[in-house]
Amino acid sequence: MKNINKKLQILVLLPLIAMQLNCGSSKNVTANAGKVESWITTTDETSKLKKQADLVFSSETNSNQTIEINPAEKFQTIEGFGFSLTGGSAQAIIKLDKPKREALLQELFSRKNDAIGLSYLRLSIGASDLNEKVFSYDDMPEGQTDMNLEHFNLGPDLNDVIPVLKDILAINPKIKIMGSPWSPPVWMKDNGSSKGGSLQPKYYGVYAQYFVKYIQAMKSHGIVIDAITPQNEPLHPGNNPSLLMLAEQQADFIGNHLGPAFAKAGIKTKIIVYDHNCNKPEYPLTILKDPKANPYVAGSAFHLYEGDISALTTVHNAFPNKDLYFTEQYTGSGSNFENDLKWSVKNVVIGSMRNWSKNALSWGLANDEFYKPFTPGGCSTCKGALMIDQNQNIKREVGYYIIGHASKFVPEGSVRIGSNIAGKLHNVAFKTPSGQIVLIVENDGASAETFNIKYNQKQTSTSLNAGAVATYVW
């Protein structure tokens, strides 16, 4: 009888214990939800992605301007933030002593401790203008061709880009990688030069196989190419290397050659069109309107050396089922920390995200103290996110902080959610896969701004200096 009574007592107490445990855990969740962490970068460089004292949500009200977060309003899913791993970037990194190199790559690509969690890289297919010399993966003596691509090989990339990529993939196996060519092999072009000229139509089929071989060769090294663009900056034939490829030519190449070649080879790599400035949205629209090309095209890519970032929304509104990407913006040696921080966070990070982009990439990841290497006629003023000098000193340049304010806090799979622009406070908000809310704010005004962040009927008040950038997480 005693045993029966004890069992009854236990049965009665179990629900009460469970209720207490649930109440306790609910209380902890509420307490944690009230805290807002923040990191700030200021234009005077006294604070660079530096953690601040926590803020707290409350029911108190005031008359400050308010950024309100609306998690019910959902937009695009984010694929990542990062840079181009140029040949020059890989050379700068691989020259570091092994312990220093390993520590740097952990800082850049892991999500541990103070790392910035870069999650997207762009590669050049062959040389870009930030290589020390021009090359393709199938260079031939003058006057000779290689229609079967028997001489195809990854060339100089085997010495730097691929070893660095393997180290990166060991840290983040899920990193997204996009490839973009600056020029086809010279023998395929109508001017016989690495600079300018056009791809001869008789080589469209061979060039499509060149992309197939590239993707397969990279895969043999354990490197999955998630997306390619058929040509970097197709309307800028003045770089070295470069190629002029008009919209109609790109549509023909994709619809009749590249798309079918990928399909036949069973390649799932996405084809992203355009990859040039925001002043010509009609270029990707021409390709997307082409009935043969359209089924093979996953989206369009943009840079912002000309035009307005709203061009991405123009293309999105015309083809809402096609994705948008922001694939390049440089910071230059002739600018300064303040101007680059303000402009790039406002346009490249916040602007691209508010205009449907699934990623945001700055240009080169690294260079030496002389902005080298670059090709003859290539960019001599392109400033990497890192400057690595001959003594292996590493300087984190403005690009590191521009992208770091997003990459550190917004992992792949995050979704952009609703937030309003309050006065000069440009911003964008996300919900991460783990359920955190991330808000990135840039004060584009000439003076400090005090404002509220409002979420779920609660708010917290804070301030941000002129030109400063902050990331808030809760």
Instruction: Compute the mean pLDDT over every residue in the chain, rounded to the nearest whole number.
Output: 94
pLDDT in the model for residue 15: 41
12-66 pLDDT, tens per residue?
A: 344 433 333 333 333 323 334 689 999 999 999 999 999 999 999 999 999 999 9
pLDDT in the model for residue 334: 94
344-403 pLDDT, tens per residue?
A: 999 999 999 999 999 999 999 999 999 999 999 999 999 999 999 999 999 999 999 999
pLDDT in the model for residue 33: 60
Q: Which segments of 374-454 does DSSP mark as H helices, in order? A: 398-407
Q: Are residues 402 and 446 in the same domain?
A: no
Instruction: Give the number of domains in the chain.
Output: 2
- 10 pLDDT above the threshold of 50: no
pLDDT in the model for residue 12: 38
Which pairing describes strands 366-367 and 386-388: parallel, antiparallel, or unpaired? parallel
Burial of 415 (0-12, 13-18, 19+ CB in 10 A): middle
Task: Judge contact between 416 and 75, C-beta under 8 A.
Answer: yes
Q: Which segments of 118-176 does DSSP mark as H helices, in order? A: 161-171
pLDDT in the model for residue 29: 32
Q: Are residues 230 and 173 in the same domain?
A: yes
Burial of 340 (0-12, 13-18, 19+ CB in 10 A): buried
Q: Are residues 432 and 300 in the same domain?
A: no
How large is the average pLDDT for residues 81-87?
A: 98
Domain harbouring 181, CATH code: 3.20.20.80
Q: Are residues 438 and 299 in the same domain?
A: no
CA pair distance 282, 300, nearest whole angstrom: 11
98-111 pLDDT, tens per residue?
A: 999 999 999 999 99
207-247 pLDDT, tens per residue?
A: 999 999 999 999 999 999 999 999 999 999 999 999 999 99
Q: Are residues 236 and 144 in the same domain?
A: yes
| The token pair that represents 303 in the structure block | 């840079």
Q: Are residues 377 and 456 in the same domain?
A: no
CA pair distance 406, 41, nearest whole angstrom: 12
| Bond prior to 241 in cis (omega within 30° of 0) | yes
Q: pTM for the whole thing?
A: 0.93
Q: Which segments of 221-348 does DSSP mark as H helices, in order? A: 247-253, 259-265, 282-288, 311-318, 337-344
Question: How far, CA to CA in Å, does 348 sit from each of 93, 362, 404, 412?
Answer: 25, 8, 12, 17
How large is the average pLDDT for residues 82-90?
A: 98
Is 304 strand, coil or helix?
A: strand
Q: What angle do CA 179, 286, 412 make, to 5 degrees?
A: 40
Q: Are residues 107 and 68 in the same domain?
A: no
Domain boundaries, position 69: 35-74+419-473
Q: Is 17 part of a structural domain of the chain?
A: no
CA pair distance 78, 76, nearest whole angstrom: 6
CA pair distance 151, 54, nearest whole angstrom: 59
- Out of 379, 394, 412, pick the residue that ends a domain: 412
Domain harbouring 66, CATH code: 2.60.40.1180
Q: Are residues 210 and 102 in the same domain?
A: yes
